[in-house]
Structure 1
Amino acid sequence: MRTNHVRRALGTASALLLLPALLAGSTAGRAYAAPRADTTATADCGTATALTKTLPNGTGWSMCWRLSGTKGLVLERIAYRPRNEPRPLKVLTSASLAQVNVPYDSGLTEYNDLSDIGFGNTAIDIGREECPGGTVSPVYVPQQERTVKALCTTTAPHGYAYRSDVDDDHGTAKKYTKQGSDLVILSVSQLGWYEYITQWNFSDDGTITAKMGATGDLSPGDYSGAGTGWPIGKGDRDHSTSHYHSVFWRLDFGLDGSPRAKVEQYDTKKAGRGPGSAVLKTTRTPVTRELAANSALRRWWRVVSTAGKNADRHPRSWELVQQHSDRYDAHAYTSKDVYVTQYRACEQLASGNSDPACDGRGTSVDKWANGETLTHPVMWVNVGFHHIPRDEDQTPMPVHWQGFQLAPRDVTAMSPLTPDELSGHNGQGN
C-alpha cells in the first residue's frame, strides 16, 4: 500500500494518478540540475554542480553531482587527490543507483522503484538537522513542480585512521595515531511507506562507500492475518509481510582518465598443508569478456588502470569489497552479485531499461552480459536484503543499510595518511 505515502511525497492525489504518464514522458530519466544561481558551470561539470572538498588529513575529493528523475543522485567525474600527489587521480566517470527491486514474500506485490517511479521524482526536503555541519542544496523537481532541498554534503568522523607504536627513524619509541574523516553526500526519496537514503562516503584513506538506507514505516496495507509474515504488535493478530530489497549500482570507471580498464578476478583456495597452517594459493583470472558472477569464499574483483601506475610502478586499481548479500533468486537479473558489461550509453538501469536505443538488447542487465569482449567495462553491483520485520521496526523504522566499498589497491605507493617521518618505510629494503 504505497498509495498514501507516494501521494504525500508528490503533494496531491492528482499527481499520483498522473505519475505513470509523467514517467513515460521525456522527463523520466532527465537529470535535474540545481537552479542556475546555485550551479557551478565548469568545463568538467557543464551545468551540473561541482563539488570539491579537502578533508582534515589532506585528502581531496572532487566530482560533479546532479539529480536524475529516475536514478536520483548521480555522481560524475569523481577524482581522488591523495596528500603529496601532484594532481587528482580520476576514478569514476559516473556512479549511481541502477534499480531497487522490492518483491513481497506473499507473491502479491512487487515494485521496481527506479524504473516505475524514480528516486529523483520523489526526492524530499532534507533539514539542516539532518546535515550537521554541512550544506543542503536545492534542486527543482518538475514532477513535484517545486524546488526540493535535495542534497546534503557534509563531513563526518569515521574513527581510527590508524594506530601504531613503533620506533621513529631515530630509534625513539613513538605512538602514531590519527582519526579519520569522510566526505558524505546524500539524498532522501520517499516511495510508499519507505524513505530511502542514497549515500556516498569518500574517505581520507581513499575508500569509497556506496550504501542505501531504508527507513520510514512498515506499510499498514501489508499486514496480514495469522499464518503469513511476522507477528508485529500485541499477540498474534497482525503480521507484517516479509519482502526483499535488491539494490543495484552502476559504476562506469575512468581510471587515470581512460575508460579502457582491465578487470581481474582473484580466488584463494587451499593447496595443501604447511608446518604451521594450511597452504593457500591465490590465482588471478583476467576477465576479458562480459561477466555475470556470484561472490564466493575468498573471491574478489578489481578494476585495473591501463593508463597510470603509482610511484612503485604498480598499476593503479580499485577493489570491490562486498558486504553480506541475500540474493533474490526468483529473477534472473537479481540472482547474480556482480555483472561486468561492455559500455553502451543506453544501458542505464539493471531492469526496466526502456531507452529505445537499446531495443533488441533486452531490458535487464543479465541480457547484456552475453560474452562480448570488454574494452570499456561497466560494473553492476547487486546487494540483496531480505527484510523479515520485527517489533522494533515500529515506528519510525530504524535504518537498515546495504551497500559495498571500492578500496584503493596500489593507487599510491604508501597510504596517503602515512606520517611524513615514516614516508621512507616503503618495502622491506627500505
Structure 2
Amino acid sequence: MIKRLRYFFLLAIAIIVVVSISFGLMGKLSAQQPSISHPLSALTEAEITTAVSVVKREKTLSEMAVFPLIALQEPDKEEVLNFTPGKVFKRQAFLVIYERSQNKTFEGVVDLTSKTLNSWKEIASVQPALVSSEYELATQVVKDDLRWQAAMRRRGINDFERVKISWWTPGILSEQEEKTGYRLCRGLFYYKGERWNYYGSPIEGVIATVNLNSGKIASLIDTQKVPFSQDNWNYDVKSLSKLIPPLKSLKILQPNGKSFQLNDNQISWQGWNFRYLMHPRSGLILYQVTHKYSGNVRPVLYRASLSEMVIPYGDPQPTWSFRNAFDVGEYNLGLLANKMELGKEIPENGLLLDAIFADEQGEPYKIPGVIGIYERDNGMLWKHYEYNTQRNDVHRNQELVMTMTVAIDNYDYTLNWIFRQDGTLEVQNELTGIVLAQGTAAEKQSSESSYGQLIAKNIIGVNHQHFFNYRLDFDVDGKANSVMEMNVNALPMDDKNPLGNAMVMIEKPLAKETVAVRDLDMKHSREWMIVSADKKNTLGAAPGYMLMPEGNSTFFPVEGSKIRERAEFATHHVWVTKYKPSELYAGGDYPNQTQAGEGLPKYIADDESLLGEDIVLWYTMGVTHIPRSEDWPVMPVHRVGFKLIPRGFFSRNPAVNLPE
C-alpha cells in the first residue's frame, strides 16, 4: 500500500513537472513570436514559411524557381480604417515567383489563415528584380569566357580572381535585346588587387551582357584600352597616413528615458501616431499617420512611401549610356537595407529595430538593427524677444526621426521620416558612398572628359542625376480630399498698386488627373495643398496639408530618349491620382527591362476626377550631381527632401503651449 502511494505521489510530481516545463516552454515560444494584433502587422517568419509552402503545394515549381519578393498583401483600406482591437481580420501574403528556365513571372496571393492559394496568375513579358544567385551565375559565365579573359590580358590582368564584377540590370536595351525578351544583366569590371575599395580602379571599355536564361554571354563590348588607377583608394583609418585630431566627446543623453511609445509596429510621440513596415521593395513605409491636438485625433496620411528611383548617367558611350538604374524596382531596395549601429548611423540615444524578410528561396531571415528611431534637438522651434519688457520666449525644436540606410552597389542612401512638434512631417534623403568612377588616361581636366569631371588621377566622375518619387496617400481629415495649386503673383503697377509692391496668392483646384501633372515654378513660388473637401476650420477655410518643396532639379535626358520614356515619372515634379490600391509604383510594377509609359502615365490615362475624392499625390525630387574632387574617394553626405506642413489644419501654432 505504501509502495503504491509512493508510486502515485512520484507520478503526480512528474506530471506537474512536465506540465510546468511545457507551459514554461510554451510561454517562451509565444514570447518569441511577434504579435499579429493589427491588419498592418509585419509578416512573421512563420507566415512567410506558410506562404511558400502553400505555393509549393499547389504549384509545381522547377528547381530554378526563385521568389524575388514576398511581402504582406496590403489589406483593404476600408478594413484597416474600420478595424478595432479584437476584431477578426484577413492575413494574406503576396509573392512574386520567377521561373528562369521558362522565363516566366507569376504572382500569387496566399490566405495565411486558411492556408490556401487565393490567387495565381502569370504576368506576361515582365522581369522581376535581380536576385543574388543570378550574380553568382553571371560571374561564373563571364570568368569562364575566353573572349573576356583575352580582354583582361590585353590590360595586363592575368589573375582573374583580382577582378571584381558589379552586376547591373541591362537598363536601356538594344532593338535585338527587346525582341528576344530574355532576362539579361550587364557586368562592370574593377581591378581589386590587394585593396578593398576596388571602385577606385574601374576597368574601362569592357562590358559583358549575360543571358540569364541560357547561362551564356549575350554580348561583349571591348573597346579602347584605358589604364586603370593603381592608387590605393581605401579610406579607413588604417590606410590613411595622417589623421585630423579628434574633437572632444559630444554626448546625447535622455536621463528620463525616451518620449516615444512603441507597441508592435505602432509609434506615438508628441501628438503623432503612426504604424510602420519594412517592405522588401520600398523599404520603410508609414501607415495611418494621425495627429492629436486638443483631444482630437485627426488623420493626415494613410500611407507614405518611396515609390521609385532612377539614376541616369550622362555619358553617351555604349559602355555607359545603358546605365539608368531603377534602384527600388530593379534591385528591391528594402532588401538592400543594412544593419545600423548606435552612435554611428543614429545617435546613442536611439533605438534599433529588426525586420523580417525572405530570401530568394523563400526562407525567412531577420536583419537586426535595420530600422532606427531616435529623438534629436534641431535648433529653435520658435522665439520672440520683446524689447520693451526684455522678455525672451524661446522653445527648442525636438524631433522624432525614423530612418533606414541602404547600400546599392557603390552608392549609399539614408531615408529619414522626421516628425516635428509644429505638426510638420519632413522627408530627408541623404546621399553618400562612392562616386561611380570612369577610367581615363588623363591626369588633367580636358575637353575630352566633358561628360564628367576629373576627380583624381585616371578617374572621372561622370555627370549624373538621382531622382526619387514618393507616393503620398493623403487622408486629410478623412478620405474626401481635393488638391489645390498655389501660385504667388506680383500685381502690375496701377492706381491700386502705385508702388508696385503688391503680391497675391492664387489658389486653383486641380480637377482632373491629366491637369494635375505639374512642375515647380520659382517665379511664382509654386506649392500644392491637399485639403478636406467636406470640413472647415474655425476661419471658414478647408483644413489642409501643404507640400513644400526644397532643392530639386529637372530631368536632363531629352525628348525622345529611351530613358525619358521609361522613367516618365521623373519628367514632372507632381502627379496626382485617384486612389487605387494596385497603383503603388511610379515606374510601374516591373521596371526591369520595362516598356515605355509604365506607371504614372498609365495611372492617369483614365483622367479621373480629383475633387472630393480619395487622392494620392506623387512627388518627384532630383539631384544633379556634377562630381568634384572633394567627393573622392567617398562622398560627404548630400541632403535633399521636402516638407508636409499644416495649412489651416490647426487654429494656431500647435507648438505654442509646449512647456519650457
Same fold, TM-score > 0.5, yes or no: yes
Indicate yes or no: 2:291 matched with 1:80: yes
After TM superposition, the runs of 4+ consecutive aligned structure 1 residues lying more than 3 A away are 20-23, 28-31, 41-44, 222-226, 307-314
Q: Deviations over 1:134-167 (max 9, x none)?
A: 1100112223853212111111112111111248
Count of residue correspondences: 374
After TM superposition, the structure 1 stretch with the greater mean CA deviation from structure 2, 90-99 or 394-403, is 394-403
Residue in structure 2 matching 1:113, options 305, 315, 327: 327
Amino acid of the structure 2 residue aligned with 1:382: T
Query: Any idea what SS the aligned residue of 1:348 has?
Result: coil
Counterpart-to-counterpart distance in 2, 1:150 and 1:189: 9
| 1:175-205 CA distance string (max 9 Å, x none) | 2111111110000111111111111111111
Distance in structure 2 (CA, Å) of the matches to 1:110 and 1:318: 33
Aligned residue identity for 2:485: Q
In structure 1, what is the equivalent of residue 380 of structure 2? 160
Any idea what the Cα deviations from partners look like across 1:272-293, whole Å, max 9, x if unmatched? 1223343323222111111111
SS of corresponding position for 2:335: coil
The one-letter code sitting in structure 2 at the alignment partner of 1:314 is: A
Aligned partners of 1:67 and 1:139 also within 8 Å: yes
- 1:373 and 1:161 map into 2 onto residues whose CA distance is 39
User: Is 1:27 equivalent to 2:70 in the alignment?
Assistant: yes
Q: Structure 1 pair 395/181, CA: closer, same or farther in 2 (3 Å)?
A: farther
Q: How many angstroms does 1:307 deviate by?
A: 4.6
Q: Which residue of 2 aligns with 1:217?
A: 434
Q: Is the 8 A contact 2:569 2:620 kept in 1?
A: no
1:378 paired residue among 616, 621, 624: 616
CA distance in 2, matches of 1:80, 1:218: 40
The answer on 1:336 being equivalent to 2:547 is: no
Please give the per-residue CA displacement for 1:315-353, whole angstroms capped at 9, x wherever unaligned: 210111011211214323211010001111111111032
Structure 2: stretches of 5+ with no match in the other structure: 1-63, 75-83, 92-263, 316-320, 443-447, 558-563
Partner residue, 2:311: 102
Return the TM-score normalized by structure 2: 0.53
Matched, 1:61 2:272: yes
Hey, what does 2:462 align to over in structure 1?
Answer: 241
Contact kept, 8 Å, 1:153 with 1:186, in 2: the verdict is yes
Task: Specify the code of the residue in structure 2 equivalent to 1:153.
Answer: I
- Secondary structure at the aligned position of 1:413 is classed as coil
Larger Cα-atom Rg: 2
- Indicate the residue corresponding to 2:543 in structure 1: 316
Q: Distance in 1 between matches of 2:615 and 2:419?
A: 22
Q: Tell me the secondary structure at the aligned position of residue 367 of structure 1.
A: helix
For 1:75, the aligned partner's letter is: L
Pairwise mapping of residues 115-264 of structure 1 onto structure 2 (< 5 A)?
A: 115-129=329-343, 130-132=345-347, 133-143=349-359, 146-148=365-367, 149-166=369-386, 174-220=391-437, 222-226=438-442, 227-228=448-449, 229-234=452-457, 237-256=458-477, 258-264=478-484
- Map 1:381-400 → 2, pairs under 5 A: 381-400=619-638
Deviates more, 1:293-302 or 1:64-73: 293-302
1:286 to 497, 505, 509: 509
Deviations along 1:245-274, one digit per CA (max 9) or x if unpaired, are 010000001112x22201111222222122
Does 1:418 pair with 2:637? no
Distance in 1 (CA, whole Å) between partners of 2:281 and 2:657 is: 44
1: CA distance, partners of 2:432 / 2:73: 26
* 2:598 maps to 1:363: yes
CA distance in 2: counterparts of 1:346 and 1:354, whole angstroms? 13
Provide the C-alpha distance between the structure 2 equivalents of 1:209 and 1:265, rounded to a whole number of angstroms: 20
Change in Cα spacing, 1:162 to 1:101, as seen in structure 2 (3 Å) is same
Any unmatched runs of 5+ in structure 1? 1-19, 32-40, 55-59, 422-430
TM-aligned CA deviation for residue 400 of structure 1: 1.2
Instruction: Provide closer, same or farther for how the CA distance between residues 307 and 115 of structure 1 changes in structure 2, counting only shifts above 3 A.
Output: same
Matching residue's letter, 2:598? T
Contact 2:574–2:620, Cα closer than 8 Å, also in 1: yes
Do the aligned partners of 1:73 and 1:120 also contact (CA within 8 Å) in 2?
yes
Q: Percent of aligned positions with the same letter in both sequences?
A: 23
2:589 equivalent in structure 1: 353
What CA distance in whole angstroms lies between the structure 2 residues aligned with 1:67 and 1:199?
13
Distance 1:223 1:302 in 2: 47
- Cα pair distance change 1:143/1:328, threshold 3 Å: farther
TM-superposition CA deviations, 1:367-404 (whole Å, max 9, x none): 32343212221100000111111111123321112221
Aligned 8 A contact 2:69 2:358 in 1 = no
Q: Distance in 2 between matches of 1:241 and 1:43?
A: 56
The alignment's TM-score, normalised by the length of structure 1, stands at 0.80
Task: Describe the superposition over 1:98-145 as per-residue Cα deviations: whole angstroms up to 9, x where unpaired.
Answer: 111011111241110011011211110011112221110011222385
The question of whether the paired residues in 2 share the 8 Å contact of 1:207 and 1:407 is answered with yes
Bigger share in strand: 1
CA distance in 2, matches of 1:388, 1:316: 41
User: 2:491, 2:500 within 8 Å by CA — same for their partners in 1?
Assistant: no
How far residue 43 of structure 1 moved from its aligned partner, in angstroms, is 7.1
Structure 1 residue matching 2:630: 3-state secondary structure: helix
